[in-house]
Amino acid sequence: MKQFVIFDLDGTLLNSIGDLASANNYALDKLGFPTHPIEAYYQFVCNGIMKLFERSLPPEERTSENLQKMRELFVPYYNEHGCERSFPYEGITEVLKTLQARGIKMAVASNKYHEGTEKLVRHFFPDIMFSSVCGQREGFPMKPDPLLVQQMMQKAQVSPKHTLYVGDSGVDMQTAHNAGVDACAVLWGFRSREELSAFHPAYMISNPRAILEII
C-alpha cells in the first residue's frame, strides 16, 4: 500500500499548455522572433522554462542573452495570465479529495519555476493540503535529479517503498527511477504512450481514478 503520492503538475494535474504557449509566444513576439502553434509546445515543455525558451527560439538565436530576455518577458506575463487557459484534467480534483479523505499524503514536484508552481496549485486546488509544493529554484537541481523527491519523502516521513510518483513525461519516469520509487505514467498529458513506455513505468493509466486502485 502507498502512503504518499507525488504528482507532477503540468500535463499531470493541469492542462496548462494553452497558457504556457500564450506566454512564450508573447515573449517571442516582443523580441521579434517567430511564434509557434500550440501543438508545438507539447515537445517544448517538461524541462523548465529555460529549456522551453531554448527550444522555441530559432537555433541561431539561442544565446544566453536571448534566454534571459525571454525570461524577463515570460515570467511577469505568466504570473498575470497563467490561470486563464489552464484547467485540471477531468477527475483529478475528485481523486485528490478522495486521497486526502483516506489520509494519503500528497505533494507536487514540478520543473516549472517555483513561484508559478505555487500560484497554480493555490488557485486550482485550494482545498488540498499538500505536504510539499515545489517548483524549480535557483541553485537546486531539476528533475530528473532525485533530490527533490527524496526531500519530499523525508519531510513526509515516508519510505520509497510506500511512495508513488505520478507524471506524464520521460523526465518524470526518470525522476521516479532515480529516487527508487514506483512510477505511474499518465496518458492524458503532454507526451506519448511510446515515450512513456520506453521507461517501463510500474503503472500506466488513462483515467485518474486508477490512482485510487493503485493506492
**pLDDT band, residue 39 (cuts 50/70/90):** very high
Q: Which CATH class is domain 17-81?
A: mainly alpha
User: Nearest to residue 35, comparing CAs of 83, 73, 82?
Assistant: 73
CB 117 within 8 A of CB 48: no
Q: Give the pLDDT confidence score for residue 129 in this predicted structure.
A: 98
* pLDDT tens digits along 166-201: 999 999 999 999 999 999 999 999 999 999 999 999
- Domain ranges across the chain: 4-15+86-214, 17-81
CB 5 within 8 A of CB 215: yes
Window from 11-20, 44-53, 143-152, 180-189 with minimum mean pLDDT: 44-53
Helix, coil or strand: residue 122: helix
CB 57 within 8 A of CB 28: yes
CA distance 208 to 144: 23
Cell of 100: 486526502
Fold of 4-15+86-214: Rossmann fold (3.40.50)
CB 82 within 8 A of CB 26: no
Cell of 189: 498529458
- Per-residue b/e over 112-127, b at no fewer than 16 CB within 10 Å? bbeebbbbbbeebbee
CA 27 vs CA 52, 68, 208: distances in Å: 12, 11, 34
CA distance 144 to 111: 9
pLDDT value at 46 more than 90? no
Q: Give the pLDDT confidence score for residue 115 in this predicted structure.
A: 94
Helix, coil or strand: residue 205: strand
* pLDDT tens digits along 138-162: 889 999 999 999 999 999 999 999 9
